């Protein structure tokens, strides 16, 4: 690595590369220079250096499944392929019993997490969702419940006339263990007004996650990239997450989510190539120095790209999922029925030269493979 840095001709880029290898935090300006000037091989080497310091040769996954209670949503974001209005023939809204039937499908299966997120339904309130949590907790007291994105929480908590702390505490008392990272999109306010003007803004997203962290709940963070945003807007997004992580330490992982163009109102945008995916993973790993993990969500980018991301700083492949999510398949992702077995995940990780570690929601080791 040192020999490579010595041979970098651009003095500005050379100084930034030395800062990364020395473990110094990059500024936003330095991150932008790195993004614009570094070739992909240098990005990979720097990101891998940071990843090795964070998690050695380990790559993580968990045994999980998703529940998507509804795709009916009061919002209609331009990039969303999932949203449907009430009465649309392609809409769904699961009953409590249907949700519990999904839980029962995994009776006797050693899953450690259920991930629950969906549309913001206009007729379901915080007490309904609290009851769902209680029912799941009763049926499967052994699994961790990660549920309700910040956008869902904002709507249900405000409708109940509660503060974010009060609302999250209520849900926690009924079984909520952690919060997924969805709904962040891109924090830049002008761009947000263009692509999701009705949705909770960046300040709301961050305030909800901060309230959860202060109550002892962990969460993840996401960024939707590859649509109309600039590299500077990506870095600004990550900076705001890094600042919150400095205050709370409550984020488990950062998850770059690739924009997919099928069946939405931004279908005129050409999806970014895999080289851009990898550059984005690498920059995320380098810039987010206080995040322990960078997750490659394989239903979004595909199995091959997820495997490649392990050479660009990612150290988590999410989980088995077992064909329980439609969010990305509806937007044209390559895995129409997303499911990977534990054996397949372990084989993928080993093929990239890493050690497979099965984890729980908060990255406690379940088993080393």
Q: Which residue reads 């209609």 in tokens?
A: 76
The predicted pLDDT at position 310 comes to: 98
CA distance 100 to 165: 27
The predicted pLDDT at position 325 comes to: 43
User: Is the pLDDT at 274 greater than 60, yes or no?
Assistant: yes
Across the range 281-286, mean pLDDT stands at 98
User: Over the stretch 157-198, which tens digit does the pLDDT of each residue have?
Assistant: 999 999 999 999 999 999 999 999 999 999 999 999 999 998
**Structure pTM?**
0.92
Listed in sequence order, the residues at least 6 apart from 15 whose beta carbon sits closer than 8 Å to its beta carbon are none
User: Over the stretch 342-360, which tens digit does the pLDDT of each residue have?
Assistant: 888 999 999 999 999 999 9
Reported as a pLDDT band with limits 50, 70 and 90, residue 328 is very low
User: Is the pLDDT at 336 greater than 60, yes or no?
Assistant: no
Across the range 245-266, mean pLDDT stands at 90
| pLDDT-above-90 percentage for the chain | 78
Across the range 325-343, mean pLDDT stands at 55
The predicted pLDDT at position 126 comes to: 98
The token duo for 234 is: 């990506």
Reported as a pLDDT band with limits 50, 70 and 90, residue 305 is very high
Q: For the chain, what is the HEC assignment?
A: CHHHHHCCCCHHHHHHHHHHHHCCCCCHHHHHHHHHHCCHHHHHHHHHHHHHHHHCCEEEEEEEEEECCECECCCCCCCCCCCECCCCCCCCECCHHHHHHHHHHCCCCCCCEEEECCCCCCCCCHHHHHHHHHHHHHHCCCCEEEECCHHHHHHHHHHCCCCHHHHHHHHHHCCCCEECCCCCCCCCHHHHHHHCCCCCCHHHHHHHHHHHHHCCCEEEEEEEECCCCCHHHHHHHHHHHHHHHHHHCCEEEEEEEECCCCCCCCCCCCCCCHHHHHHHHHHHHHHCCCCCEEECCHHHHCHHHHHHHCCCCCCEEEEEECCCCCCCHHHCCCCCCCCCCHHHHHHHHHHCCCEEEEECCCCCEEEEC
Reported as a pLDDT band with limits 50, 70 and 90, residue 323 is very low
| Burial degree of 327 (CB within 10 A; 0-12, 13-18, 19+) | buried
Across the range 79-102, mean pLDDT stands at 86
User: Over the stretch 108-167, which tens digit does the pLDDT of each residue have?
Assistant: 988 999 999 999 999 999 999 999 999 999 999 999 999 999 999 999 999 999 999 999
Domain boundaries in the chain? 59-368
The predicted pLDDT at position 239 comes to: 98
| Domain covering 59-368 in this structure, CATH number | 3.20.20.70
Across the range 333-337, mean pLDDT stands at 49
CA distance 80 to 186: 14
The Cβ-side half-sphere exposure at 341, using a 13 Å CA radius, reads: 3
Measured N-to-C along each axis, helices 28-37 and 11-22 cross at an angle, to the nearest 10 degrees, of 120
The token duo for 48 is: 């891998």
| pLDDT-above-70 percentage for the chain | 93
- Output the average pLDDT for the chain: 91
Across the range 250-260, mean pLDDT stands at 95
CA distance 138 to 136: 5
User: Is the pLDDT at 3 greater than 80, yes or no?
Assistant: no
CA distance 254 to 251: 8
User: Is the pLDDT at 2 greater than 90, yes or no?
Assistant: no
């Amino acid at each position: 690595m040192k020999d490579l840095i010595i041979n970098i001709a651009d003095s500005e880029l050379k100084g930034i590369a030395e800062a990364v290898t020395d473990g110094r935090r990059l500024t936003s300006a330095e991150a932008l220079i790195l993004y614009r000037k570094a070739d992909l091989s240098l990005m990979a080497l720097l990101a891998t250096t940071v990843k090795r310091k964070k998690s050695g040769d380990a790559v993580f996954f968990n045994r999980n499944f998703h529940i998507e209670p509804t795709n009916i949503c009061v919002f209609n974001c331009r990039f969303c392929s999932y949203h449907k209005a009430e009465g649309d023939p392609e809409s769904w809204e699961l009953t409590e019993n249907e949700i519990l039937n999904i839980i029962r499908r995994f009776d006797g299966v050693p899953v450690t997490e259920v991930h629950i997120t969906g549309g913001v339904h206009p007729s379901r309130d915080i007490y309904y969702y609290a009851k769902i949590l209680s029912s799941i907790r009763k049926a499967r007291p052994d699994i961790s419940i990660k549920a309700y994105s910040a956008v869902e929480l904002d709507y249900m908590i405000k409708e109940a006339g509660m503060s974010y702390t009060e609302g999250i505490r209520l849900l926690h008392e009924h079984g909520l263990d952690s919060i997924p990272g969805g709904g962040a999109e891109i924090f830049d306010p002008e761009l947000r007004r263009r692509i999701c003007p009705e949705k909770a803004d960046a300040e709301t997203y961050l305030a909800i996650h901060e309230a959860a962290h202060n109550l002892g709940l962990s969460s993840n963070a996401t960024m939707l990239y590859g649509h109309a945003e600039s590299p500077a807007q990506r870095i600004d997004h990550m900076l705001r997450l890094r600042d919150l992580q400095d205050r709370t330490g409550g984020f488990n992982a950062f998850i770059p989510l690739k924009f997919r163009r099928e069946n939405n109102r931004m279908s005129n945008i050409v999806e970014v190539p895999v080289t851009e995916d990898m550059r984005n993973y690498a920059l995320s790993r380098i810039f987010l120095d206080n995040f322990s993990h960078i997750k490659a969500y394989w239903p979004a980018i595909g199995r091959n790209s997820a495997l490649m991301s392990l050479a660009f700083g990612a150290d988590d492949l999410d989980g088995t999922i077992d064909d329980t999510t439609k969010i990305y398949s509806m937007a044209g992702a390559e895995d129409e029925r997303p499911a990977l077995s534990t054996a397949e995940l372990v084989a993928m990780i080993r093929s990239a030269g890493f050690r497979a570690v099965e984890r729980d929601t908060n990255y406690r080791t379940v088993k080393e493979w």
